[in-house]
């Protein structure tokens, strides 16, 4: 069973379920997506926002997307850090985002190591590529998974999004973003060099969908 918000695995979920129905979200991996990658990060003093990350979150949240962190944190399960220390790291992340004028609507983490007590691979659905953290956030925050995205720098992030019924973007520095003037390229997932470029892809598609919805509401057939 998934832990409740505030318990192990969900350090904060502050968003409220909107009165108008489910809203879309952008689920975000942490290391290498929002902050610089540090192997088994254990020191809040080493938290560094990646360039453009805060600005991307501002744009996405202004467009109506909830911003939700979903991160595997096996350092807890391996006994390398405590959950209290992990909360301190996330508090520092939120402090830095707040200084840039933005925030997260929720932080979800899986503390499990990638194996069970017998040394076999873990099968818990909360650990990415499982969809558990995304499904839990959707229930807590009233999110529309079919209209949501998962962004991360590992294939496990991509698969977690797809397993939850979202679309996914793999951050692949050095490669141009997929998509053209007609919108994102078709395929099981998209690629972008960083979070800012991923936000461009999402917002381009979102703007097109909103325009189509307005046209349909007026009873006008699109060209």
31 is catalytic: yes
Asked whether residue 109 is assigned to any structural domain, the reply reads yes
The total domain count for the chain is 1
Is the model's pLDDT at 142 over the cut of 50?
A: yes
Is the model's pLDDT at 147 over the cut of 80?
A: yes
CA distances from 128 to 108, 171, 192 (A): 11, 16, 20
Integer Cα distance of 82 and 133 in angstroms: 20
Is the model's pLDDT at 216 over the cut of 80?
A: no
Lowest mean pLDDT of 9-23, 74-88, 198-212, name the range: 9-23
- Of residues 123 and 179, more confidence is placed in 123
| Of residues 125, 157, 138, 123, the one with CA closest to residue 2 | 125
Asked whether residue 210 is assigned to any structural domain, the reply reads yes
Contacts of 187 (CB under 8 A, 6+ apart): 178
Domain holding 182, by residue range, is 20-217
Task: Taking residues 122-130, report their average pLDDT.
Answer: 78
| Catalytic residue, candidates 31, 105, 112, 157 | 31
CATH number at residue 211: 3.40.50.1000
- Of residues 187 and 147, more confidence is placed in 147
Asked whether residue 13 is assigned to any structural domain, the reply reads no
Integer Cα distance of 125 and 121 in angstroms: 12
Integer Cα distance of 127 and 72 in angstroms: 6
144 is catalytic: no
Asked whether residue 15 is assigned to any structural domain, the reply reads no
| Of residues 114, 68, 63, the one with CA closest to residue 90 | 68
Asked whether residue 172 is assigned to any structural domain, the reply reads yes
Asked whether residue 48 is assigned to any structural domain, the reply reads yes
Asked whether residue 73 is assigned to any structural domain, the reply reads yes
Task: Taking residues 32-39, report their average pLDDT.
Answer: 96
For residue range 175-215, list pLDDT tens digits in order.
555 543 334 433 489 999 999 999 999 999 876 554 444 44
Asked whether residue 160 is assigned to any structural domain, the reply reads yes
Is the model's pLDDT at 65 over the cut of 50?
A: yes
pLDDT for the residue 53: 98
Which string of DSSP letters, residue by residue, matches 80-145? SS-HHHHHHHHHHHHHHHHHTT---SEEEEE---SB-TTSPBP--TTSTTSSHHHHHHHHHHTB-G
Integer Cα distance of 108 and 90 in angstroms: 10
| Catalytic residue, candidates 29, 112, 153, 194 | 29
């Amino acid at each position: 069973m998934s832990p409740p918000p505030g318990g192990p695995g969900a350090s904060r979920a502050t968003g409220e379920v909107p009165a108008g129905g489910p809203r879309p979200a952008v689920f975000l991996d942490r290391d290498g997506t929002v902050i610089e990658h540090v192997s088994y990060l254990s020191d809040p003093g080493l938290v560094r926002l990646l360039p453009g990350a805060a600005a991307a979150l501002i744009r996405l949240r202004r467009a109506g997307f909830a911003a939700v962190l979903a991160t595997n944190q096996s350092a807890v399960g391996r006994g390398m850090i405590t959950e209290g220390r992990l909360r301190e790291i996330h508090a520092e992340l939120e402090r830095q985002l707040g200084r840039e004028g933005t925030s997260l609507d929720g932080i979800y983490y899986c503390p499990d190591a990638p194996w069970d007590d017998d040394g076999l691979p873990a099968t818990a659905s909360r650990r990415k590529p499982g969809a558990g953290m995304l499904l839990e956030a959707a229930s807590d925050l009233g999110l529309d998974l079919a209209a949501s995205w998962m962004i991360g720098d590992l294939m496990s992030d991509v698969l977690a999004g797809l397993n939850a019924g979202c679309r996914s973007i793999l951050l692949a520095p050095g490669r141009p973003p997929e998509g053209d003037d007609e919108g994102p390229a078709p395929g099981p997932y998209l690629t972008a060099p960083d979070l800012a470029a991923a936000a461009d892809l999402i917002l381009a598609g979102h703007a097109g969908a909103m325009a189509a919805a307005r046209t349909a509401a007026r009873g006008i057939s699109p060209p």
